[in-house]
């Protein structure tokens, strides 16, 4: 026991001097997590907004209605309309300064009333995905609505157009005639429209429950990424011990090998626990996860780190050289990170890929940690300390760590320490 503690103290003192490695272990989750959070949550869930440039060469009553439609209601909250000249509009949309540019040519109103073909020029910004599509759809709907409105109220619209273009106020008789004509057209169409063929029932939506942010789903996988990097570096320390002659001296005191393995495992667990405390504290504070979940989350990461350290140790101890061990470790680590939920949350992957990911060691660990921090009582709650990680998962992780450490000890006895 005393030798295990001395090994623990020695390793902690050595790693304390390697500040760059420790800063990298802590910096990886903070940097990646910060980038993911800024990309996913940076807009605060707000609606898109953009600029529509319109060059109205017709300047008629009808073209004015078209221009005004883009500024009405919810559409007006998303789209800001700016009137420009054709040359300025084309230059600015080509430079990517707006979501779209609409050119209404001269004679548009007359062509619509006379049912003559006319072309509107609409250019959208290919670097944007949502607003250009909305602008194009609204423009098509407006043209269709104008066509059917002209079919039904063509004479009345023509009278309104003439009155709007005149310099004097319209005569009261003309206004009354237009109103009567509109009413007669509506009355004639009423038998075709009422009663409606479809009964519409408006149902109240169920009360909204707070959802889990995508950034929070990324957090467990990113933390496991940092733990895997740390565990791999800590396991590589076996080569440093052999090159320093420590293992060769232990061959002549074989009873101390178990204490030596235990001491290095304790040191690795202590360092990974410190890493978990820092990154989990920041993650819990930012995402509003219940602090009651923090102790068990730290314990899960600590045990996960011990298991990963043990099996990275197996990998290093069974390979013939330090260089080959580092190469194989990297070749194994990055596919595991890809499949195990560090680059993409398992909850966001297709079911068949997520099922494979949960079978990987880090995927298993990240999946259970995700369950712990995203359960209904964990997010935006003050209480809720009951664990969501089942006892079988703890047992599987403990057996995994124990089996890996036993293989470490066996390989040291079998020849690695004697080389």
Could you tell me which residues come within 8 angstroms of residue 117 by beta carbon, excluding any fewer than 6 positions away? 111
Residue 13 lies in a domain: yes
The helix/strand/coil state of 54 is: strand
Residue 310, pLDDT score:
94
Q: Is residue 406 scored above 50 in pLDDT?
A: yes
The model's pLDDT over 320-357, given as tens digits with 9 standing for 90+, comes to 888 998 899 889 988 898 888 888 888 877 888 889 98
Residue 295 lies in a domain: yes
Nearest to 333 by CA among 352, 350, 312, 314: 312
194: number of CA atoms within 13 Å, CB side?
5
Residue 381, pLDDT score:
44
What value does the mean pLDDT of the chain take? 82
Q: How far is CA 186 from CA 62, 71, 179, 236, 262, in A?
A: 21, 27, 11, 84, 89
- Residues 287 and 361 occupy one common structural domain: yes
Q: Is residue 193 scored above 50 in pLDDT?
A: yes
Angle, alpha carbons 412-418-419 (nearest 5°) = 110
Element (H, E) at 387: none
- The pTM (predicted TM-score) of the whole model is 0.63
Q: Is residue 374 scored above 60 in pLDDT?
A: yes
Residue 189, pLDDT score:
67
Q: What is the Cα gyration radius of the chain?
A: 35
User: What is the percent of the chain with per-residue pLDDT over 70, rounded to a whole number?
Assistant: 84
Residue 199 lies in a domain: no
- Residues 385 and 326 occupy one common structural domain: yes
- Residues 29 and 55 occupy one common structural domain: no
Residue 163, pLDDT score:
64
Residue 413 lies in a domain: yes
Is the separation of the CB atoms in 238 and 317 below 8 Å?
yes
Q: Is residue 383 scored above 50 in pLDDT?
A: no
User: What is the percent of the chain with per-residue pLDDT over 90, rounded to a whole number?
Assistant: 26
Residue 189 lies in a domain: no
The better pLDDT of the pair 415, 182 is held by: 415
Is the separation of the CB atoms in 325 and 236 below 8 Å?
yes
Residue 374 lies in a domain: yes
Is the separation of the CB atoms in 248 and 418 below 8 Å?
yes
Residue 84, pLDDT score:
93
- Residues 12 and 128 occupy one common structural domain: no
Q: Is residue 71 scored above 70 in pLDDT?
A: yes
The model's pLDDT over 268-322, given as tens digits with 9 standing for 90+, comes to 999 999 999 998 998 898 888 888 889 999 999 999 999 999 999 999 999 988 8
- Residues 56 and 159 occupy one common structural domain: yes
Residue 377, pLDDT score:
45
Structure tokens at 109: 């109103």
Residue 34, pLDDT score:
78
Residue 130, pLDDT score:
84
d(CA 204, CA 207): 9
Give the number of domains in the chain.
2
The model's pLDDT over 116-161, given as tens digits with 9 standing for 90+, comes to 888 889 999 988 888 888 888 888 888 787 777 666 666 666 666 6
Q: Is residue 170 scored above 90 in pLDDT?
A: no
- Residues 26 and 58 occupy one common structural domain: no
My answer on whether omega of the bond before 195 falls inside 30° of 0, hence cis, is yes
What CA dihedral angle connects 274, 277, 278 and 282, to 10 degrees? 170
Region of 416 please: left (phi>0), alpha (psi -120 to 50) or beta. alpha
Residue 219 lies in a domain: yes
The pLDDT-based confidence of 54 (bands split at 50, 70, 90) is very high
The CATH number of whichever domain residue 93 belongs to comes to 3.40.190
At which of 146, 168, 184 does a domain end?
184
- What's the domain range around 162? 50-184
DSSP secondary structure letter of residue 289: B
The strand ranges marked E within 74-185 are 79-83, 100-104, 121-124
Nearest to 27 by CA among 304, 229, 300, 263: 229
Residue 265, pLDDT score:
93
- Residues 74 and 169 occupy one common structural domain: yes
- Residues 254 and 351 occupy one common structural domain: yes
The better pLDDT of the pair 388, 178 is held by: 388
Residue 361, pLDDT score:
92
The pLDDT-based confidence of 175 (bands split at 50, 70, 90) is low
The pLDDT-based confidence of 59 (bands split at 50, 70, 90) is confident
d(CA 167, CA 174): 15
- Residues 273 and 160 occupy one common structural domain: no
Given the structure tokens 């990154």, which residue do they identify?
279
Is the separation of the CB atoms in 381 and 287 below 8 Å?
no
Q: Is residue 31 scored above 90 in pLDDT?
A: no
- Residues 277 and 312 occupy one common structural domain: yes
The model's pLDDT over 72-113, given as tens digits with 9 standing for 90+, comes to 877 788 888 999 999 999 999 999 999 999 999 998 878 877
Residue 290 lies in a domain: yes
């Amino acid at each position: 026991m005393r030798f295990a503690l001395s090994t623990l103290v020695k390793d902690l003192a050595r790693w304390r001097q390697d500040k760059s490695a420790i800063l990298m272990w802590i910096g990886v989750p903070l940097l990646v997590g910060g980038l993911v959070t800024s990309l996913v949550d940076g807009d605060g869930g707000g609606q898109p907004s953009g600029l529509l440039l319109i060059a109205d060469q017709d300047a008629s009553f009808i073209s004015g209605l078209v221009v005004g439609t883009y500024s009405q209601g919810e559409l007006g909250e998303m789209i800001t309309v700016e009137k420009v000249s054709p040359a300025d509009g084309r230059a600015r949309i080509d430079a990517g300064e707006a979501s779209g540019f609409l050119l209404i040519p001269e004679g548009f109103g007359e062509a619509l009333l006379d049912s003559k073909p006319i072309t509107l020029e609409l250019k959208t910004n290919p670097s944007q995905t949502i607003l250009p599509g909305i602008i194009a759809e609204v423009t098509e709907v407006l043209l269709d609505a104008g066509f059917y409105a002209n079919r039904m109220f063509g004479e009345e619209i023509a009278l309104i157009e003439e009155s709007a273009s005149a310099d004097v106020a319209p005569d009261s008789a003309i206004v009354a005639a237009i109103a009567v004509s509109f009413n007669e057209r509506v009355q004639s169409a009423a038998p075709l429209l009422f009663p409606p063929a479809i009964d519409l029932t408006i149902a109240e939506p169920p009360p909204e429950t707070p959802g889990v942010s995508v950034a929070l789903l990324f957090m467990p996988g990113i933390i496991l990424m940092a733990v895997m990097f740390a565990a791999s570096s800590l396991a590589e320390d076996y080569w440093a011990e052999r090159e320093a002659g420590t293992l060769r001296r232990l061959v002549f005191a074989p009873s101390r090998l178990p204490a030596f393995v235990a001491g290095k495992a304790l040191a690795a667990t202590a360092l990974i626990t410190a890493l978990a405390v820092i990154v989990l504290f920041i993650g819990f504070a930012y995402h509003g996860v219940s602090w009651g979940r923090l102790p068990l989350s730290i314990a899960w990461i600590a045990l996960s780190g011990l298991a990963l350290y043990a099996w990275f140790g197996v990998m290093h101890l069974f390979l013939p050289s330090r260089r080959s061990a580092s190469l194989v470790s990297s070749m194994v680590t990055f596919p595991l990170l890809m499949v195990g939920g560090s680059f993409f949350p398992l909850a966001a992957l297709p079911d068949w890929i997520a099922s494979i990911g949960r079978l990987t060691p880090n995927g298993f660990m990240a999946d259970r940690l995700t369950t712990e921090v995203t359960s209904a009582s964990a997010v935006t709650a003050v209480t809720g300390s009951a664990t969501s990680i089942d006892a079988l998962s703890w047992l599987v992780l403990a057996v995994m760590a124990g089996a890996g450490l036993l293989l470490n000890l066996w390989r040291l006895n079998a020849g690695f320490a004697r080389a």
